[in-house]
Amino acid sequence: MAFLDFRGGSGRVQIVSKRRATCGRHSWSPRVGACVQRTHLVRKRALLGGSNKPRLHVGSGAMEGAMQTESKIRADSRTEPGPRGPGCSLRHFACEQNLLSRPDGSASFLQGDTSVLAGVYGPAEVKISKEIFNKATLEVILRPKTGLPGVAEKSRERLIRNTCEAVVLGALHPRTSITVVLQVVSDAGSLLACCLNAACMALVDAGVPMRALFCGVTCALDSDGTLMLDPTAKQEKEARAVLTFALDSVERKLLMSTTKGLYSDAELQQCLAAAQTASTHVFRFYRESLQRRYSKS
Amino acid sequence: MSWCIKNLPAMQETGSIGTADGSSLVKLGNTTVICGIKAEFGAPPTDAPDKGYVVPNVDLSPLCSWRFRSGPPGEEAQVASQFIADVIENSQIIQKEDLCISSGKLAWVLYCDLICLNHDGNILDACTFALLAALKNVQLPEVTINEETALAEVNLKKKSYLNIRTHPVATSFAVFDDTLLIVDPTEEEEHLATGTLTVVMDEEGKLCCLHKPGGSGLTGAKLQDCMSRAVTRHKEVKKLMDEVFKSMKPK
């Protein structure tokens, strides 16, 4: 698998084929400093050209514009050691597309320390028993990081599949199958939201026709009612309720929702509103990421 | 947007299975679900030595619908089992500490088997209701640990009911392109719908679960309407359940 590896000393950027585990230390450090340098280098590489190579794009949940992103990140690295901006915002996210050669589309999505790798095969041949005469059959396979997939994975697969079915224009490819395979690389909270984002980016990379993009946002409510977006694993464990929403890009409608814990109706509406605001950042990130990839410069 | 108000639970029976520690039979229109609860001994989990287990299992057999084949549980059965497990966990229907007999050594394990006899849509509502009714029906014998032999002694003559803390009630909706919302959909309506939504609410108006597995989008306002409908439904179902239990109690 080819991806970008940052060699701190020389400052050179090169494409290397390595197992993700080895490069984990170099590439995906939660320290903000590493991300800054990467953004800078990606922009430099983009200027030099090379459109077929895997595109890495790093973003921050609290960004306003590309240049401001960098300054805000630098400010954070001096004042706070944490990887997210002040107040209620998302963790740093990064996305890489077209990193696997065999699937028709692939993407890796990172949110803080949570990382999910997605691959899409399709539209492809479908088994007669599973074929639907007027639209594509969508299948989602979710593999946990360790162990065999269990009932919880089946439940999540159903959630992701139904979300994808709502946006994918299956009617354009009848009697075919579109398979989305998700591999959890690391889980540090907000896993389902990360899976949804990775699946969306992989579907875009595969060129599957969709009526809208979708994104996943997780909210956590703690015992005194404070709302936290994109919680880490520790925050999720201590929270009273964890709500995950999938929103579409056209009208920010609620496509999918799954919740854990007890909460009131008013809190639900509050979380939904916060998720809708946060999804604007994610969709802007998608747009910039794709613009970067397909631009000539 | 128009509502279609349908089947209230038409029939509910508890204590129908003699061999189980607690049981119930629920009919929602044509959908029939039977729940049997067996209590067995087990060692408590190592990370929570003062808690017992509640293990739900939903069985969708070929008997209930042409869509299911015999063999390992299919996707729909697994999703339903996970949903019931989530409802039990989120709503804190019973305190797992109540199931502990001796901390770190012995606890009750409640195996809840939900078997669908007739699948005509809205399986999640029926399962939740059947589970709640069966749990209310469960009678556990008193268990004492004999200090000399360190064995458990079961006193079958002295039985007590479980302490049910909340009463979660599930309300399912079928969504048709954000214009039509049908409460308690039948199988045909579910099949034709573009999305489904299940809201599980307890008596204080707190939400235990908002299960919307994909499908067409819903605005915040529509969601609010669903909530108010779920509150009404909770009242209706609770009234029915109280009536049944009042008629059952003298035993």
> Taking Cα atoms as reference points, which of A257, A164, A180 lies closest to residue A213?
A164
Phi and psi at B106, nearest 5°, equal -140, 135
| pTM (two decimals) | 0.79
* pLDDT at site B179: 79
Give the list of residues 6+ apart from residue B88 with CB closer than 8 angstroms, or none: B54, B56, B94, B131
Determine contact, residues A279/B219, Cβ cutoff 8 Å.
Answer: no
* pLDDT at site A24: 30
For residue A214, pLDDT over 90 is answered with: yes
CB contact under 8 A, A158 and B219: no
Lowest mean pLDDT among A28-37, A133-142, B128-137, B155-164: A28-37
* pLDDT at site A57: 66
What are B233-249's pLDDT values in tens digits?
888 888 888 888 787 66
Mean pLDDT score, A49-78? 41
For residue A64, pLDDT over 60 is answered with: no
The Cα–Cα gap between B24 and B13 comes to: 5
Q: Which of B82, B178, B206 sits opposite A264 (nearest CB)?
A: B206
B169 SS3 class = strand
The Cα–Cα gap between B35 and B23 comes to: 5
Chain B residue with CA closest to A155: the answer is B79
Spell out which residues of chain A touch residue B202, defining contact as CB-CB under 8 Å: 262
Mean pLDDT score, B95-121? 91
Confidence of residue A274 (pLDDT cuts 50, 70, 90): very high
What are B188-231's pLDDT values in tens digits?
999 999 999 999 998 888 899 899 988 888 888 888 888 988 89
Cβ–Cβ contact A255 with B under 8 A: yes
Instruction: List B residues 67-126 in contact with A (Cβ-Cβ < 8 A).
Output: 75, 78-79, 81-83, 86, 89-92
Higher pLDDT, A127 or A43: A127
> Taking Cα atoms as reference points, which of A199, A162, A196 lies closest to residue A180?
A199
Determine contact, residues B97/B48, Cβ cutoff 8 Å.
Answer: no
Separation of first and last alpha carbons in chain B: 47
Cβ–Cβ contact B55 with A under 8 A: no
Task: Supply the mean pLDDT for chain A.
Answer: 77
Name the β-bridge partners of A12.
none
Chain B residue with CA closest to A240: the answer is B90
* pLDDT at site A87: 45
Cβ–Cβ contact B207 with A under 8 A: yes
Lowest mean pLDDT among A90-104, B3-17, B113-127: B3-17
In order of A15, A39, A40, the CA distances from A55 in angstroms are 11, 11, 13
Confidence of residue A56 (pLDDT cuts 50, 70, 90): low
